[in-house]
Structure 1
Amino acid sequence: MNNRQRSRREAALPKSEDIAPRNVSRITQGVFLLACLAFMLLWAHAMPKGVEWVKAATDTCTGIMRFRILLSPLLVFPLVMLFFSALDGLRCLQYRQWPWPGMWLWKDTPIRSARYALWRGRLLLILAVPVLLALTSYMTWLLLFGELLSPDVHAQCASLP
């Protein structure tokens, strides 16, 4: 690679000044933490009512369907982790640095070299994404198709998938 190609590649890479200022990252982290706390409080408030709703089912099949509806928000966390792991891996490979420009951090973090960023990006794409995808698929399979239910329950409820 000659100097001209190298200078074009370096010009295309973002500079360290492009990383979000510290106050912006703190505001974003605060909003994220408040959203998580609100979700936890909402779930804690809705769960007892949801259990009563499941108990009020007239038959087993309706109760199973209501239970699946009640537990379906638990699939959100692995799907969000899957999305952010893929995003982090792709951005590390794209910018060849970690933290990549615009990434929000807890504190000032030194920018790592291209070798570390490529290693991190490949590791996330090779390990984290398939593991999280398998976990999410398995949880969805258990939730939707009720593999943990006994065969006699499936015999009673022919309408269940």
Structure 2
Amino acid sequence: MNMAHAEELLTENLDPVLGSLSWETSEWVGDIQVGTHHVRLLIDLDEEDHSRERQIESIAYAKALLPKVLKNEAQLRRQAADEIAEAAGSEASEKDRRRYASEVDSAAAAMEPQVLCISFPDGGYLECRDATQAFYGASTVVIRFDDEGNYEEAEVDFE
């Protein structure tokens, strides 16, 4: 990267929707409110092109996607809990399958958002921790969503 190109990059951005953002290598970093939780916001430029124009485009993309994700956030957690319970139940006894299914709402409610990553230009993910540690222990639940804020899949990252 030549010096002229490096000088063109934005280093900070103050946005009325996204708040204060700082540029770190290939992503914008900030903080945002998701429900009652204060979470780390990442706007990740997936591509190699980290030009000023792409930086600005990524902010516009995040501003358009954020309201959709916030609107769907509780449903994203619910669908993740449902999918995880179904996967766990597939190897369990009938009694345990019923128990997993009965705990989906509690498990979804226990997921506290920690990080919201918007991957420019194609969706992103929400990282949650189980506040109670009753459902997922000390692991992180990663909930992926598409460019409309709709649920795609979930995974549990055990530590």
TM-score by length of 2: 0.27
- The structure with more radius of gyration: 1
TM-score by length of 1: 0.27
* Larger strand share, 1 or 2: 2
Higher relative CO (Cα under 8 Å, sequence separation at least 6) belongs to 1
* Larger helix share, 1 or 2: 1
